[in-house]
Amino acid sequence: MGEAEPRAGGRGTRAVDRPHGSAGRALLRVEDYPGLKLLCWSRPSPSISRREAFALYERNWRFVDVAGMSEHERALIDGLAREFGNGLINA
């Protein structure tokens, strides 16, 4: 925790997680990202839009365990930050 900005990169983002068609409309499987899964504890849906995921990470950054995060999830956050936050997470 305490890191207010995601790392640069994003090479580990899988093709199914990349946006296609309308920006931010591509769905992410919440189960694939442990940190996101914790933030989605009250949401019944197994998937979430990229835009919603970015908003959740940004709003709840204080609860994100950056040190224990997988490279896969870091790559997701980096990509979301570039896509929706000009490269930054406002925490």
Whether 5 is covered by a domain: the verdict is: no
Closest CA to 33 of 77, 78, 88: 77
pTM, to two decimals: 0.71
How many domains does the chain fold into? 1
**H-helix or E-strand containing 54?**
helix 50-59
CB 48 within 8 A of CB 40: yes
What is the extent of the structural domain holding 74?
15-84
User: 10 lies in a domain?
Assistant: no
pLDDT tens-digit profile of 14-43? 434 444 445 556 899 999 999 999 999 999
Of 8, 15, 64, 5, the closest CA to residue 37 belongs to 64
Within-domain flag for 40? yes
Mean pLDDT of the region 29-58: 95
Question: What is the percent of the chain with per-residue pLDDT over 70, rounded to a whole number?
Answer: 71
